[in-house]
Chain A
Amino acid sequence: MNEITVDGEPLPFVEGQTVAAALVAAGRVAWRTTRTGRRPRGVFCGIGVCFDCLVTIDGVGGQRACLVPSRPGATVTTATTVTTGEGGDE
Chain B
Amino acid sequence: MSEPADLVVVGAGPAGAAAAVTALAGGLRVALVDSGTAVGGQYWRHPPEHARAAIPTEDLHHGLREYRALCAALEEGRAAGRLDLRTAHHVWSAVREDGGFAVHAVDRREAPRETAVVLRAPGLLVATGAHDRQLPFPGWDLPGVLTVGGLQALLKGGGVAAGSRVALGGTGPFLLPVAAGLAARGVEVVAVCEAADPRAWLRHPGALLRNPGKWAEGAGYAAALVRHRVRVRPRTAIVAAEGDDRVTSVRIASLAPDGSPRPGTERRVEVDAVGVGWGFAPQLDLFLPLGCELADSADGNAVVAVDAGQRTTVPGLYAAGEACGVGGAALAAAEGRLAGESVLADSGAAPAPGRRRTARTARTAAVRAAVDRQRAFARAMGLAHPIPPAWSSWLTDDTVVCRCEEVTAGAVRAACADGGAHDHRQVKQLTRAGMGWCQGRMCGPAVHCLVARERAYVPAERLVATPVTLGALADLDEQPPEPADHSEDRQ
Residues of A within 8 A of B (CB): 14-18, 20-22, 24-25, 29-30, 34-37, 39-52, 54, 57-58, 60, 62-63, 66-69, 82, 84, 86, 88-90
Over the window 136-168 of chain B, the binary record of Cβ atoms lying under 8 Å from chain A Cβ atoms (1 yes, 0 no) is 000001111111011111100111101000000
B470 on interface, CB distance cutoff 8 Å: yes
Cross-chain contact of B438 among A18, A20, A30, A51 (Cβ < 8 A): A51
B413 on interface, CB distance cutoff 8 Å: no
B132 on interface, CB distance cutoff 8 Å: yes
| Contact present for B442 and A45 (CB under 8 Å) | yes
| Contact present for A45 and B246 (CB under 8 Å) | no
Q: Given A36-B406, A49-B442: A20 and B154 within 8 A (CB)?
A: yes
Distance A14 CA – B52 CA, assembled complex (angstroms):
11
Distance A88 CA – B437 CA, assembled complex (angstroms):
15
| Contact present for A66 and B147 (CB under 8 Å) | no
Can you list 28 A-B pairs with a CB-CB distance of less than 8 A?
Answer: A14-B55, A16-B51, A16-B52, A16-B54, A16-B157, A17-B158, A20-B158, A21-B154, A21-B159, A30-B144, A39-B406, A41-B141, A45-B147, A45-B149, A46-B150, A46-B154, A47-B150, A48-B466, A49-B438, A50-B403, A50-B438, A54-B437, A57-B111, A68-B108, A68-B111, A69-B37, A82-B437, A88-B112
| Contact present for B246 and A46 (CB under 8 Å) | no
Distance A89 CA – B114 CA, assembled complex (angstroms):
12
B141 and chain A: residue at smallest CB distance: A39
State the majority secondary structure of interface residues on A: loop
B109 and chain A: residue at smallest CB distance: A69
Distance A89 CA – B141 CA, assembled complex (angstroms):
29
What band does the interface of chain B fall in when counting residues whose beta carbon is under 8 Å from A?
A: 35 or more
| Contact present for B246 and A40 (CB under 8 Å) | yes
B356 on interface, CB distance cutoff 8 Å: no
Distance A69 CA – B153 CA, assembled complex (angstroms):
13
Residues in A with CB closer than 8 Å to B470 are: 86, 89-90
Residues in B with CB closer than 8 Å to A40 are: 142-143, 245-246
The 10 closest A-B pairs by CB, nearest first: A16-B51, A46-B150, A21-B158, A51-B437, A30-B143, A16-B47, A60-B112, A46-B153, A29-B143, A17-B158
Q: Given A17-B55, A40-B143: A29 and B162 within 8 A (CB)?
A: yes
Residues in A with CB closer than 8 Å to B471 are: 88-89
Residues in B with CB closer than 8 Å to A42 are: 143-144
Of A22, A29, A39, A68, the most chain B CB neighbours within 10 A belong to A29
